């Protein structure tokens, strides 16, 4: 999570990209999945800008699930 006063400065995107990079180095990682509350449109857009895609799935609590296919 990025504190509200630091949002919109690219820190979240950089953090997501770094986690993806780290997980791509693992030979046992084929997919990365994240979730967010449905009304968080900004999070959805951020994840999609980082290469995540809708899965059409939802957590039991209604959160939207997105995935990133690791090559």
Residue 65: partners with Cβ closer than 8 Å, 6 or more residues away: 33, 34, 35, 55, 57, 58, 59
CATH of the domain at 59: 3.40.630.30
Cα distance between residue 43 and residue 39, in whole Å: 9
Domain total of the chain: 1
Look at residue 14 and tell me if it is in a domain: no
For the chain, percent of residues with pLDDT exceeding 70: 100
pLDDT single digits (tens) 29-57? 999 999 999 999 999 999 999 999 999 99
Indicate the SS3 state at residue 1: coil
pTM of the complete model? 0.88
Answer yes or no: is pLDDT of 71 > 90: no
User: What residue numbers bound the domain in which 52 lies?
Assistant: 29-71
Q: Across residues 16-36, what is the average pLDDT?
A: 96
The per-residue pLDDT for 2 is 87
The dihedral of CA 41, 43, 48, 53: what is its sign?
negative
The per-residue pLDDT for 31 is 97
Residues with active-site annotation: 47
- H-assigned helices in 1-71: 11-24, 41-49
């Amino acid at each position: 999570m990025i504190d509200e006063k630091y949002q919109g400065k690219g820190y979240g995107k950089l953090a997501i990209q770094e986690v993806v990079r780290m997980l791509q180095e693992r030979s046992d990682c084929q997919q990365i999945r994240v979730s967010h509350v449905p009304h968080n449109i900004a999070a959805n857009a951020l994840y999609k800008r980082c290469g995540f895609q809708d899965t059409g799935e939802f957590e039991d609590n209604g959160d939207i699930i997105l995935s990133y296919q690791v090559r």
